[in-house]
Amino acid sequence: MLAAHPRQTVHAKRPPAGSASFSLDERMAYATVRRLLAKEHVFCEGDDRDHVFRVEEGVIAVYKTLPDGRRQIIDFAYPGDLIGLGVLGEHVLSAQATVPSKVRCLSASALERIAETDAGLALKLYKSVCQELAATRSLLVTVGQRSAIERVAAFLVALHRRTATDGSTAVKLAMRRSDIADLLGLTIETVSRTLTKLRAMSVIDIGQGGTRVDLCDLPRLTELANE
């Protein structure tokens, strides 16, 4: 169930009358805001799917809990991404903030009603679902076929594509090493050793307490990713 602590929830104003034709961005301006602490859940597997969420700040790990209690992170959601999409009545994945984050919450039924008449929104939702599918397919290849250095290199290349702006060659690791390990199917130690190896190869440099990675040789990193 959606159960945010009152301290962490900011209720937006109710949309004015006649707002049925509002775009998604206009609707989101009136949506409830939830502020999350690191490791706090947006929703958990099995919760009723009453809301869809747009990430405004921070990073959200979307994951599946395995039968033995381990977790497999499927993807990370960044500002602008929608999470909680689906056709079932309950969430089939869990979503957890990796750092202090902020999301906006929109009623799933309201979103579906808007999409029925807003072709632009319907296309955006289609693209979001396609992105989730592409991430899942990429994860299957990464975990099943790639070596540790290929996995970490592919993760850094993908992170750069999704978050880098203004031609920057730096990315921010707004997640723990354990989160990266749970995405790539590696141990924390292997992730750390592989980052150190890439640094020794002068492909990357690591700064700001390990949270900033400069991609010193992006073409070489892409080659190592074996994409």
CATH code where residue 134 lies: 2.60.120.10
Tell me: pLDDT of 2 over 60: no
Alpha-carbon span 79 to 74, nearest angstrom: 17
> Where is the domain boundary, 85, 118, 142?
142
- Identify whether residues 86 and 108 lie together within a single domain: yes
pLDDT value of position 165? 78
% of the chain at pLDDT higher than 70: 84
Neighbouring C-beta atoms of residue 21, cutoff 10 Å: 9
The CATH number of the domain holding residue 215 is: 1.10.10.10
Tell me: pLDDT of 96 over 80: yes
- Identify whether residues 12 and 70 lie together within a single domain: yes
- Mean pLDDT in the chain? 84
Residue 75 lies in a domain: yes
Tell me: pLDDT of 4 over 70: no
111 versus 8: the higher-pLDDT residue is 111
Neighbouring C-beta atoms of residue 96, cutoff 10 Å: 21
The CA-CA-CA angle for residues 19, 23, 26, to 5°, reads 75
Q: How many alpha carbons lie under 13 Å from residue 77 in its C-beta half-sphere?
A: 27
Tell me the per-residue pLDDT of 145-198, one tens digit each, with 9 for 90 and over. 689 999 999 999 989 988 887 788 999 999 999 999 999 999 999 999 999 999
Cα dihedral 110→111→117→120 (10° resolution)? 160
Residue 1 lies in a domain: no
Alpha-carbon span 215 to 171, nearest angstrom: 8
> Where is the domain boundary, 120, 142, 164?
142
Q: Across the beta sheet with 94-97, what order do the strands follow?
A: 41-43, 94-97, 60-65, 71-77
Is the overall model pTM greater than 0.85, yes or no?
no
> Where is the domain boundary, 142, 175, 207?
142
- Identify whether residues 128 and 202 lie together within a single domain: no
Contact of 94 with 41, CB cutoff 8 Å: yes
Tell me: pLDDT of 11 over 60: no
Residue with tokens 């395995």: 66
Tell me the per-residue pLDDT of 37-81, one tens digit each, with 9 for 90 and over. 999 999 999 999 999 999 999 999 999 999 998 999 999 999 989
Domain count, the chain: 2
What is the three-class DSSP state of 43?
strand
- Identify whether residues 169 and 157 lie together within a single domain: yes
- Identify whether residues 160 and 127 lie together within a single domain: no
Q: How many alpha carbons lie under 13 Å from residue 73 in its C-beta half-sphere?
A: 23
DSSP bridge pairs for 57: 102
pLDDT value of position 105? 92
Domain that holds residue 190: 146-225
Quote the DSSP letter at residue 86. Answer: -
- Identify whether residues 129 and 164 lie together within a single domain: no
